[in-house]
Structure 1
Amino acid sequence: MEQALRLLHQPVWRMIDQSAVGIHFSALQSFGMDDTLCNSVGSGKAPATARTWVHHNTIVLGIQDTKLPHLKAGIQFLQEAGYQVIVRNSGGLAVVLDEGVLSISFILPETEKGIDINRGYETMWLFVQQMFADFPQSIAKGEVAGSYCPGSYDLSIGGKKFAGISQRRLKKGVAVQIYLAVNGSGSKRAERIQTFYQIAKKGEETTFSPPEIVPDVMASLAELLDRPFTIEDIMLRLLTQLRSCSGQLIAGQLNEYELGIFPGYYERVVDRNDKIIND
C-alpha cells in the first residue's frame, strides 16, 4: 500500500480531460494517445499524466476474443445494435464503453527499479477507494465470476463489479487504465457481451473459452451507491483527489513532442485493428 501511495504522489500531475468529446473521438485514438503518452512520460518529455475519456457505443475486444470461430457474426450483431467494434492493444477481454462509462488512464514513468505490475494495479485501486471514501460501502478487488473481462483486479461493491483495470507498458512508460461504470445498467451492458459470445462461439469447442456471463453480477456506481451520478460528478471527485496527491496539478493537452509522434502511434493502432477485424 505504501508503494502505491508513493506512486500516486507525483511532484507534478498533468490532467488531460477528454471526457466531453466522446462522440467526436474514436477509441482507437484513445489507445494511440496512451501509447504516445507512455513514450513521452517514459522518456521524461512530460510529467506523470492522468487522462480521462468517454466513448459512445463502443465495444472493445481483447486479442483472445478475436480467436472465436464465428467472430464476424458476433461483430455484425454488435454493429447492427449500433456499436463500433475495435480491438485494444492492452490485456483483457471484451468491455462496453458508452456515455455512462468513464475511462481513466494514469501514465507513469518507470523508475530505476521499475513499476511492478501489481503495484500499478494497487495504485489505481487505492485511488478509486480514496475517491469514494465518503461512502460506507467498501470497494473490493478480486475476480468477479460471471462478469465480462474478469480479472484479479476487478473492483466491486457487495459482489457486483463496476470497474476493471488493465495495463500497457511501452518505452519506459506505464499506462494503468480503468473503466468505471458510472451510471446506466450494468446488467444490460453484460447482456450485450453475453449475446456476442453466444453468437461468436455458437456452442463449439474452442481453445479460448470466453467467460460465462451472468449479467446480474455487473452494476454501475449509481446503482450500487444509490446516487444519480453523472460523469461530471466523478470528474470532480477525481480532480479533487488528484490535487491532494500532487505538488502541482496542471491542465494540459499534448505537447509539441507528443503531437509529432501521435500520428505514428495512431496509424499503428488503426493498421493493427484493421488486420484483425477484417482478416
Structure 2
Amino acid sequence: MNNGSFEWAKGMIVLDRTQAEIAPVGDSFARDELLCQRVGEGRPPVCHLWRHPRAFVLGAKDSRLPGAPEAVRWLEREGYEPIVRGSGGAAVPLDDGVVNVSLIMPLSGTYAYGFRDDFTRMVELIKRTMAGYGLVVRHGEVEGSYCPGDYDLHIDGFKFCGIAQRRQVKAMIVSAFVNVAGSGDARAALVRRFYDVAGIGAEAGDYPDVIAGRTTSLEERGFAWGEGGLDASEGSDGLVSSFVGAIVRTLSYGDPVTALAVSPPHELPDASAIAEMRERLAIRYPIPR
C-alpha cells in the first residue's frame, strides 16, 4: 500500500464539527456509526473531526471493572459525561483541547487492506500533518500512558494520540484522539484517579498503570499557530482550528476533498436518526451503574 500518495483519500468528505454546538457525547459516536453504514452502502468516505468540552470515554473492559459504577459516579460529580465506546482501547478523557479524528471508509476497492494497514492510514495522516510543523512523530506503545496500544503516536517518547478501530460488515471507522492543546499530565492524572476507584478489587493487569510524564499535547511539544497567523489569545480554539486546517490540507494532497459546513447537507444523518442510534449504542454498551 502506498500511504505516501494518499490515494485512499480521493473523494473523501471532511465533516468538521470541532466548532459545533455542544451536544451529548453519544451523538458523535452515533454519527460515526450512521456514516459508516452509509459509506458501506456506497456513499463517499468521510473524515469526521469533532470534540467535546468535558467527557470521559470508557473502553468495554473498563466498564467491567469492579469499581466502575462508583468511578462513573465520581466522574459525574466532577462534571464529566461518561460513555462506553464500541471500538477497542481503554479510558480516554475529552476536553476542548482534544480533537477526535474518524476516518470512515469502505471495506472494498482501494480501501481493502489488512487490519494493521487500516491503522497505518491514520498514522501516516498525522505523521505527515505534523511534519509540516517540524514535529517528528513515531508510533509504538508508550508504557505508562493512558489507553496504551501498538499504534500510540508520540513525539520524543511522549504520547499525544491513540488509535482504535471499529468494523461493520461493509465499512470501518479508524478513530484517533489527538491531544492538540492543554496538559497531557493533567489528563493522565484524571485517568489514573478513575482507575484508582474503578480498579478496586480488580486483578493486576486488568487496567493500564497510568503514570505521570508519559502523555503530552501537541501544544506542549511546540505545535505552532500555522499559516493563518493565529493569535495565541485564541487559546485551545485557535490551536484546534490550526490543527484541523492542517489535517484538511494533508488529505487534499493531490486530490481536493469536499469540505462540509458545521450544518451538514440533508444527505447526512439527521437529528432523529442520530438520537435513535445514540440510544441503541447506549443499550449495547451500557454505562456501569
TM-score where L is the length of structure 2 = 0.87
2:29 equivalent to 1:31: yes
2:233 equivalent to 1:235: no
Q: Cα deviations across residues 184-234 of structure 1 (Å, max 9, x unaligned)?
A: 1000100001011011122x3427611111121000000012646611110
List aligned pairs for 1:52-71, cutoff 5 A: 52-71=49-68
Corresponding letter in the other structure for 1:269: L
1:8 is displaced (CA, Å) by 4.7
2:143 equivalent to 1:145: yes
* Higher helix fraction (1 or 2): 1
Percent identity between the two aligned chains: 30
- Alpha-carbon spacing, 1:72–1:155, altered in 2? closer, same or farther (3 Å): same
- Alpha-carbon spacing, 1:171–1:39, altered in 2? closer, same or farther (3 Å): farther
- Is 1:58–1:84's contact at 8 Å kept on the other side of the alignment? yes
Measured in 2, the distance between the counterparts of 1:64 and 1:183 equals 28
Query: SS state of the match for residue 213, structure 2?
Result: helix
- Is 1:64–1:208's contact at 8 Å kept on the other side of the alignment? no
Q: Which residue of 2 aligns with 1:214?
A: 211
List aligned pairs for 1:77-226, cutoff 5 A: 77-112=74-109, 114-202=112-200, 204-206=201-203, 209-225=206-222
Query: SS state of the match for residue 112, structure 2?
Result: coil
Count matched residues: 273
Measured in 1, the distance between the counterparts of 2:134 and 2:16 equals 29
Q: Cα deviations across residues 43-80 of structure 1 (Å, max 9, x unaligned)?
A: 10x20111110101100000000121111221122122
1:117 is displaced (CA, Å) by 1.4
1:7 is displaced (CA, Å) by 5.6
- Alpha-carbon spacing, 1:130–1:263, altered in 2? closer, same or farther (3 Å): same
Q: Which residue of 2 aligns with 1:42?
A: 40
Measured in 2, the distance between the counterparts of 1:201 and 1:52 equals 32
- Is 1:165–1:179's contact at 8 Å kept on the other side of the alignment? yes
Measured in 2, the distance between the counterparts of 1:247 and 1:185 equals 34
Which shows bigger deviation, 110-119 or 4-13? 4-13
Measured in 1, the distance between the counterparts of 2:268 and 2:31 equals 13
- Is 1:162–1:186's contact at 8 Å kept on the other side of the alignment? yes
Q: Which residue of 1 aligns with 2:235?
A: none
- Is 2:83–2:287's contact at 8 Å kept on the other side of the alignment? no
1:32 is displaced (CA, Å) by 0.8
Q: Which residue of 1 aligns with 2:16?
A: 17
Query: SS state of the match for residue 223, structure 1?
Result: coil
Measured in 1, the distance between the counterparts of 2:132 and 2:151 equals 22
Q: Which residue of 1 aligns with 2:288?
A: 277
Query: SS state of the match for residue 69, structure 2?
Result: helix
Corresponding letter in the other structure for 2:34: T
Corresponding letter in the other structure for 2:249: T
Measured in 2, the distance between the counterparts of 1:150 and 1:35 equals 24
Q: Which residue of 2 aligns with 1:74?
A: 71
Corresponding letter in the other structure for 1:34: D
- Is 2:65–2:202's contact at 8 Å kept on the other side of the alignment? no
Measured in 2, the distance between the counterparts of 1:180 and 1:154 equals 10
2:263 equivalent to 1:251: no
Unaligned 5+ residue runs, structure 2? Answer: 225-231, 233-237
Task: Output the aligned Cα RMSD.
Answer: 2.2
1:171 is displaced (CA, Å) by 3.3
Query: SS state of the match for residue 244, structure 1?
Result: coil
- Is 1:48–1:109's contact at 8 Å kept on the other side of the alignment? yes
